Structure 1
Amino acid sequence: MKNFVKLLVVSILGGVLTLGSYKVFIEDEQTAVLPPVVNNTPNVIPANYPGKIYGTNADFTEAAEKTVNGVVHVKNVAVYRGPRTMRDYIYGNNRGGKALQGTGSGVIISPDGYIVTNNHVIKGASEIEVTLNNNKTFKAEIIGNDETSDIALLKIDAEDLDYLPFGDSNNVRLGEWVLAVGNPFNLKSTVTAGIISATARDLNTHDATPQSFIQTDAAINPGNSGGALVNINGELVGINTAITSQTGSYIGYAFAVPSNNARKIVEDLLEYGDVQKGVLGIRGGSVTPRAVEELGLETNQGVFVADVSSQSGAEKAGLKEGDIIKQIDNVKINKFSDLTGYINSKRPNEKVEVHFLRNGEEQQTEVTLTKFETYTINPLKLEVSNASKDELKALKAENGVKIYRTLSPKLPANELVGSIITAIDNEKVYDVKDVERIFSRINAGEDIMITLIDKNGEKQRIVWR
């Protein structure tokens, strides 16, 4: 009996020690991971909250409600006519019809009906139909477009429309909440949420002109093109444009044209009828680990100036080959797409403050941007610009225009970009206006002979068929 009591006491004591050990070594750790719930009522932060927002307790409802009525459904309609027979003439049949080329989204930016969308949404359209969130439909007029930036401006005959105010895309921050609003798969007024994943993202892999997109993980799918990327205050910070996906649908990588760039293009189209491009007047590239090693650079980020164009704002301001641009105005320049993204929001004759390194010393200078004229040769998928005297002299050319970039991945950009076109169909060209004049009278389908001097100084004749 005594043995049984002793055994019972030992068992109870062992259980107490085990429970105590559990409380000391295990339960305390769980408490540190899962803090106690103090209040079952969720904390809701309004969309116009002026402070910083942490976690996922932000309320998107106000921003969404502000935005959906300012985003429209855009239909690209092609009008076609079939072959006419004698019976058609007798009975008045036109044997025509309409075909839906594609759909996308657009953003109302003024109460009187101006709408921003992507150029690829309305490209080739005979008619454009715009449907508001209240299901009213309007015919839209194309005011202007810029193929390079993939931005187009439309106008509908309407008044007192809900519209989205432009935000400052230079102020977006990594991790900031954003909403994507559009019409994916023809589902109207769809709102998705995400964060800013990156800024000044360059997707261009087939020519020498870097692009500058805002990257987000907000879900964007086919049909979202031309829609709005807005911040938590309902301000427009981007025009949704592209996704990177092997399937063609969202996998977490979506891209938008920054609102500052889109706004500048819209203002140019309204005031000038085309896009006014200002340039610093340099050629160069992002500072890379290879450049740091080979050139002995003292910084790992920035834009290395490889060449300064003659008579450009950069030359007049004193920038030189070998300088490393670190900042323009209040925008840090870590890579070349940072530079182009900011400069593309400026116009010719505007002044910018350039901060740069020269021989390891920080310096700054004020640069007046100069006008950059280009012409897109659509049949050849080439964009040409005026060539400077130094560029002509370097290739021993008496006249010509420079191939500024290629517009098709099928073209050998490394070989063509920088070459000088001296003649088209044996007619000499001196500037982009000559190129535009010649191509205005060339009929579609005609063979085109281009005479050029390549980057090695060799003269070539190429026939495009």
Structure 2
Amino acid sequence: MKKIGSLLLVSIFAGAITLGAYKLLFEKTNYAIVNQEASGSLINTSFTPTSAKGAGINEVDFTNAAETTVNAVVHVKNVTLSKAPTSMFDFFYGSGGSVKPQVGTGSGVIISQDGYIVTNNHVIARASQLQVTLNNNKTYEAELIGADPNSDIALIKIETDEKLPYLAFGDSDNAKIGEWVLAVGNPFNLTSTVTAGIVSAKARSLDTRTNQSFIQTDAAVNPGNSGGALVNTNGDLIGINTAISSQTGSYVGYSFAVPSNIAKKIVEDIMEYGNVQKGFIGIRPAPVNTRDAVERGISDIEGVYIEYIEEESGASDAELAIGDIIKKVDDIDVRKFPDLTGYLSTKRPKDTVNLIIERSGELINVPVALKKRQTINVPEMGLEVKNLTDSDKKKFKTNKGVKITGVPERYRGFGLQGKVILQVDDKEIEDIEDAKNAFGAISRYGKTVITMISEEGERERLIFQ
């Protein structure tokens, strides 16, 4: 026993000597001496306090807004009838052929307990039958109340005895860039789909000819979402989902909604007047992304540079001048033309807006009374025409017709500029609305007869094939 104890003590003692020798002779300790002068500097990159809960998305509750919205968003089915040629004779000459139904789908938003639904015009266009399916799977026949192709907004209605869930219009002017939003609709026939994103931009224009104002968001929107709801986290309806920007036809990161203030005004006009009442200011802005704008030094102006003022318009009555720069309308900052047109789309003729304009380096407050639109570009031919002024009626000795004020290049050799259109085919023209409807009915494959009168009182008929 004593022998075993002695061996254990010797082993422990030998191990301690070996470890100590290794530490002393072989292992080298590296030391780094850091003085105060050599220490790295600390840089404050932000003075914004961070959330204890993370990056911010964890603080947002989408569930209440989603639960409210899905029950007020419906599935819209559009059945159209089209003729399909059954022979080569039918194909070339358009006679006969079999009628085949085609089905398109989209979304809509219930905006009243008694069944009024707002959707996109392109969702219900050319419909021979409209069906609406609620989130509880009940299906109803729908009636078209009215539509505005320019803003792509339509109003339809279903008849039901039960009180329906609905969404109230919010104030889209209060939407903030970076604010969380939900898009609710029926993409690819997947009903009651909710996607989330942020407001990416406001007053976004997709077509320089119309300068319509959209809310841009990165919430995923696909075919079938059209007419659905864009809501904030409070569940307020701030937009009607309308379009995507994509080369493939499917969502790639950008989607656009008609602001609720514009949609609400259009719906109210349809219900009260049967058509859309649009108030116009009567100006034309200078294009900013051109060589001419660079040479004139107006390419980097923040605001709307007035290049043209229509006769007998609100701008003319308010004595706005060419070269004035519109900086603000009421409480809305104007940085580009869609900022102005988007706000004016919520107004009617006879409404008054207050403009802040820059003139010769000074800011001036100018009230402007809006009027009905006096000038349009007609479909198909693209002529710019205007309603006749009192002086025009005396000069041309007519109380009816529209005056041609702009001619596309392909028609400039026909001597159209400055003449008054009296008739298109067999339709008499009294004002720009008649002209828009008459030219919109022109067939690309037929002939069109335009009857005009010159300042000298000479009537002429031109035939366009």
Shift of 1:81: 9.2
Gap change, CA 1:58 and 1:389, over 3 Å in 2: same
Shift of 1:382: 5.2
Q: Distance in 1 between matches of 2:169 and 2:65?
A: 14
Residue 194 of structure 1 aligns to which amino acid in structure 2? G
The aligned counterpart of 1:91 is: none
Gap change, CA 1:361 and 1:288, over 3 Å in 2: farther
The aligned counterpart of 1:422 is: 421
Shift of 1:98: 6.8
SS at match of 1:372: coil
The aligned counterpart of 1:138 is: 140
The aligned counterpart of 1:87 is: none
- The more displaced of 138-147 and 98-107 is 98-107
1:126 matched to 2:128? The reply is yes
SS at match of 1:278: coil
SS at match of 1:341: helix
Alignment of 1:241-390 (within 5 A): 241-285=242-286, 293-296=294-297, 300-372=301-373, 380=380, 386-389=386-389
Shift of 1:99: 2.4
Q: Is the 8 A contact 1:310 1:388 kept in 2?
A: no
Q: Is the 8 A contact 1:309 1:388 kept in 2?
A: no
Gap change, CA 1:436 and 1:199, over 3 Å in 2: closer
The aligned counterpart of 1:223 is: 224
Q: Distance in 2 between matches of 1:431 and 1:364?
A: 33
Alignment of 1:67-78 (within 5 A): 67-78=69-80
Q: Distance in 1 between matches of 2:392 and 2:213?
A: 30
Residue 132 of structure 2 aligns to which amino acid in structure 1? V
SS at match of 1:179: strand
Q: Is the 8 A contact 1:202 1:213 kept in 2?
A: yes
Residue 157 of structure 1 aligns to which amino acid in structure 2? E
Shift of 1:292: 6.7
Q: Distance in 2 between matches of 1:376 and 1:288?
A: 22
The aligned counterpart of 1:88 is: none
Q: Distance in 2 between matches of 1:448 and 1:361?
A: 51
**Identical counterparts, % of pairs:** 49
Aligned CA-pair RMSD: 4.5
Residue 356 of structure 1 aligns to which amino acid in structure 2? I
Residue 305 of structure 2 aligns to which amino acid in structure 1? F
Deviations 1:387-418 (Å, cap 9, x if unpaired)? 3549969x999874257999xxxx87997999
Alignment of 1:203-222 (within 5 A): 203-205=206-208, 207=209, 209-222=210-223
SS at match of 1:249: coil
The aligned counterpart of 1:198 is: 201
Gap change, CA 1:103 and 1:25, over 3 Å in 2: farther
Q: Is the 8 A contact 2:287 2:293 kept in 1?
A: no
Q: Distance in 1 between matches of 2:460 and 2:335?
A: 38
Q: Is the 8 A contact 2:290 2:299 kept in 1?
A: no
The aligned counterpart of 2:179 is: 176
The aligned counterpart of 1:432 is: 432
Alignment of 1:30-109 (within 5 A): 54-79=56-81, 99-109=101-111
Q: Distance in 2 between matches of 1:461 and 1:25?
A: 89
Shift of 1:260: 0.6
The aligned counterpart of 1:450 is: 450
Residue 202 of structure 2 aligns to which amino acid in structure 1? T
Gap change, CA 1:329 and 1:286, over 3 Å in 2: farther
Gap change, CA 1:335 and 1:404, over 3 Å in 2: farther
Gap change, CA 1:239 and 1:18, over 3 Å in 2: same
Q: Is the 8 A contact 2:423 2:451 kept in 1?
A: yes
Q: Is the 8 A contact 1:230 1:237 kept in 2?
A: yes
Q: Is the 8 A contact 1:104 1:183 kept in 2?
A: yes
- The more displaced of 285-294 and 273-282 is 285-294
Shift of 1:6: 7.1
SS at match of 1:276: coil
SS at match of 1:340: helix
SS at match of 2:146: strand
Q: Distance in 1 between matches of 2:277 and 2:157?
A: 21
Gap change, CA 1:433 and 1:305, over 3 Å in 2: closer
Shift of 1:257: 0.7
Q: Is the 8 A contact 2:352 2:370 kept in 1?
A: yes
Gap change, CA 1:220 and 1:113, over 3 Å in 2: same
Gap change, CA 1:135 and 1:424, over 3 Å in 2: same
Gap change, CA 1:443 and 1:248, over 3 Å in 2: closer
Deviations 1:317-346 (Å, cap 9, x if unpaired)? 221111000000000110011111110110
Q: Is the 8 A contact 1:301 1:326 kept in 2?
A: yes
Q: Is the 8 A contact 1:285 1:335 kept in 2?
A: no
How high is the TM-score relative to the length of structure 1? 0.76
Shift of 1:313: 1.4
Shift of 1:281: 1.4
Number of aligned positions between the proteins: 421
Q: Distance in 1 between matches of 2:279 and 2:410?
A: 23
Q: Distance in 2 between matches of 1:232 and 1:412?
A: 50
Q: Distance in 1 between matches of 2:171 and 2:411?
A: 35
- The more displaced of 146-155 and 292-301 is 292-301
Q: Is the 8 A contact 2:282 2:373 kept in 1?
A: no
Gap change, CA 1:414 and 1:338, over 3 Å in 2: farther
How high is the TM-score relative to the length of structure 2? 0.76
The aligned counterpart of 2:165 is: 162
Deviations 1:229-270 (Å, cap 9, x if unpaired)? 111111111111111111100000111111111110000000
Shift of 1:5: 5.8
Shift of 1:434: 5.1
Structure 1, unaligned stretches of length 5 or more? Answer: 33-37, 44-52, 84-94
Shift of 1:282: 1.2
SS at match of 2:173: helix
Q: Is the 8 A contact 1:201 1:212 kept in 2?
A: yes
Residue 322 of structure 1 aligns to which amino acid in structure 2? G
Deviations 1:346-377 (Å, cap 9, x if unpaired)? 00111101000000100011111111267896
Q: Is the 8 A contact 1:101 1:125 kept in 2?
A: no
Residue 195 of structure 1 aligns to which amino acid in structure 2? I
The aligned counterpart of 1:46 is: none
Gap change, CA 1:302 and 1:267, over 3 Å in 2: same
- The more displaced of 383-392 and 137-146 is 383-392
